Structure 1
Amino acid sequence: MDIRTLQYFLAIAREESITKAAESLNMTQPPLSRQIKDLEEELGKQLFIRGSKKISLTEDGLLLKKRAEEIVALMDKTMHELNSYEESITGDILIAAGETENISILAEIGKSLNQKYPDIHYKIYSSDSKYVNDKIDNGLVDLGLVIGTVDIKKYDYIQLPVSDRWGIIMKETDELTKYDQISSNQLIDKPLLLSHQASDNNEIMSWFQENGVVPNIVTTYNLAYNASVFVKTGFGYMLALDNILNTTTGSGLVFRPITPGLKANMYVIWKKNQIFGKAASIYLDEIKKLFNKS
């Protein structure tokens, strides 16, 4: 099994047709079919269910698809890094980040860097800390921006000199908007929407437990926008960080900080002993210089 075979496999999975996949790969159908048959024999697994109109993946095929996408992405990243060691500084910087207004710090560094190195490009992946950590662990991104805590055994990191505050986002006509701050007691039996990260956050759970409140979590989410649409209907109350959504007058939403107040620290992290491409190395050096981190 090699990279090209995995690319063939992914093309078929994407097109749901060997004929269409062959066309997209600029090859004929028989050799492509033979490659996939050889792959199935090599693995000892059936990867596709052949239907009359389309083919679909078996459970083993779905697993291989996930891993193949990671392997191909890692190969592409490696090729970009190798190519970046030419005389001119080029290449992609891959960043996985949790949702926070403070990603603007990384954006400003990128803006400054691109004045000197205009051929550097950025790929931003957004989700919660688990997603960011997985991307870092698998070598699929260079850097991560995480909110909350860092596993110092696995990652090197720089703590940014900023923090976000936790609060409740609610429909702008909700009765709780008359309060400047929201306590856990005010949320007893209220339907809550929590990010996956918040639901696993010990500080957040402790905030509820200090007053003996058992949170009524009816929905979890990984990105805030879709959850906010639920909130606008009056579906529930969203526990989230400030400024990740538009909560200005007329937006349909209102943010109120929780009390006692709870802040979330920000960290740029990378895998210990990580070997960076030239573009990512220069970018990280800029972060270190900005925050006096050797």
Structure 2
Amino acid sequence: MSASTLSRHIKQIEEELGQILFIRDNRSVALTQDGLKFQRYARETLAGWDVFKQSLGSSAEQLKGELSLYCSVTASYSFLYSILSKFRGRYPQIEIKIHTGDPVPAIARVQNKHEDISIAARPNSIPSVMEFKRIAISPLVFIAPNDDAVLHKLGMNQLDMIDWQTVPMIVSEEGIGRTRIDQWFRHKGIKPSIYAQVSGNEAIVSMVSLGFGVGVVPQLVLDNSPLADSVKVIDVHPELEPFDVGLFTLKKSLSNPIVKAFWDQVSV
């Protein structure tokens, strides 16, 4: 619809509710707190409408509608092809929307109803409203440049005798991986030398391959990286706790036949 028509509809809704839903100026438009409440209500209402429509169908094979997924680029390489090939073959009339990005907000995006399902590593605890289904276990590994001259410059001539207080570390800004790295160093009583904090595991592999330092990434990321031959895995003790990778959705979303169909066809 046109911008003027949209503005008219918004104004009518605001008048009926007696509340301002949007803050407007010449450059931007943002939701007010009441607008955010209305957004949540609208999403829940539309989701309920989809569930009701699907309940009228006589066969699961007739499922129609939309399913939104969120995952990292690596997860899309690793899992989505096999999962979606099977799902699309069985439910060709379901439109699938895929959004990729940093894995850190994956669970929150589902909890905030921006997505139906996300693929991410399972934290030590998850919100009680969430459901999780494992699809893979991935070790969390230390990686160094695969170049002896570069290792020498980094002071890593002997990989079994590394001074972790002086080695430049390239780590995630936040997320499960960062939490486990910090715990590993605390356990050893070491204050690491952080060279860079980056967003995205793929960037860590890139920086390590260029010789900037040592990084920590899931093995899954390394297996799918075009730079895998430019780095090497370092054996450390104790090993970091691996990533438990899987699907996340809201428990109540499993009442939606489309979400349930996708969820059920993924093997544990």
Q: Same fold (TM over 0.5)?
A: yes
1:48 maps to: 24
Secondary structure of residue in 2 paired with 1:193: strand
When residues 73 and 204 of structure 1 are mapped into structure 2, their CA distance, relative to the original with a 3 A threshold, is farther
Partner of 1:208: 185
Cα offset for 1:113? Answer: 2.2
Q: Conserved in 2, the CA contact under 8 Å of 1:100 and 1:164?
A: no
Distance 1:269 1:168, change over 3 A: same
1:132 aligns with 2:101: no
Question: Structure 1 101/130 Cα, relative in aligned 2: closer, same or farther at 3 Å?
Answer: closer
8 Å contact kept, 2:209–2:227: no
1:209-236 per-position Cα deviation (integer Å, ceiling 9, x unaligned): 2322212334433333455555555444
Matched to 2:67, the amino acid is I
Kindly indicate whether the alpha-carbon contact (under 8 Å) linking 1:183 and 1:259 is maintained by their aligned counterparts in 2: no
CA contact (8 A) 2:75 2:119 kept: no
- SS across alignment from 1:270: strand
Tell me, in whole angstroms, the C-alpha distance in 2 between the residues paired with 1:217 and 1:124.
34
Question: d(CA) in 2 for partners of 1:172 and 1:139?
Answer: 43
Change (3 A) 1:179 1:113: farther
Q: For 1:121 and 1:33, locate their aligned partners in 2 and report how far apart those are by CA, in whole Å.
A: 30
Q: Which of the numbers 214, 219, 225 marks the counterpart of 1:242? A: 219
Matched, 1:280 2:259: yes
Aligned to 1:197: 175
Kindly indicate whether the alpha-carbon contact (under 8 Å) linking 1:143 and 1:270 is maintained by their aligned counterparts in 2.
yes
Q: 1:266 to 1:35 in 2, by over 3 A?
A: closer
CA deviation after TM superposition for structure 1 residue 171, in Å: 4.7
CA contact (8 A) 1:147 1:265 kept: yes
Equivalences, count = 252
Aligned to 1:264: 243
Query: Quick check: 237-246 or 72-81, which moved more?
Result: 72-81
In structure 2, runs of 5+ residues without a counterpart are none
Higher relative contact order (CA 8 A, sep 6+): 2
Q: Alpha-carbon deviation of 1:190?
A: 0.8
Q: 5+ residue gaps in structure 1?
A: 1-24, 50-54
2: CA distance, partners of 1:110 / 1:69: 33
Which residue does 1:74 correspond to in 2?
43
Q: Supply the distance in 1 between the matched residues of 2:78 and 2:7 (Cα, whole angstroms).
A: 46
Distance in 1 separating the partners of 2:98 and 2:165: 35
Q: Which residue of 2 aligns with 1:151?
A: 126
Q: Answer yes or no: is 1:224 the counterpart of 2:193.
A: no
The alpha carbon displacement at 1:111 in A equals 1.0
Does the 8 A contact of 1:193 with 1:238 survive in 2?
Answer: yes
8 A Cα contact 1:168 1:182, kept in partner: no
Report the Cα offset of residue 100 of structure 1.
Answer: 4.7
Q: Which residue of 1 aligns with 2:141?
A: 167
Mapped to 2, the partners of 1:67 and 1:102 lie a distance apart of 30
Q: Quick one: which amino acid aligns to residue 218 of structure 2?
A: L
CA-CA distance at 1:80 after TM superposition:
5.5
Change (3 A) 1:63 1:193: farther
Counterpart Cα distance in 2 of 1:221 and 1:185: 22
Which whole-Å CA distance do the structure 1 matches of 2:235 and 2:38 have between them? Answer: 41
Distance 1:186 1:246, change over 3 A: farther
- State the alpha-carbon separation in 2 of the partners of residues 35 and 112 from structure 1: 41
Q: Percent identity?
A: 12
Q: Quick one: which amino acid aligns to residue 188 of structure 1?
A: T
Q: Given the superposition, is the C-alpha separation of residues 102 and 119 from structure 1 closer, same or farther in structure 2, using an over 3 Å criterion?
A: closer
Residue pair 1:94, 1:143 contacting (<8 A) in 2 also: yes
In the TM superposition, what are the counterparts of 1:95-110 in structure 2 within 5 Å? 95-98=69-72, 100-101=74-75, 104-110=78-84
Query: Do residues 57 (structure 1) and 28 (structure 2) align?
Result: yes
Deviation for aligned residue 1:237: 3.5
TM-score normalized with structure 1 length:
0.64
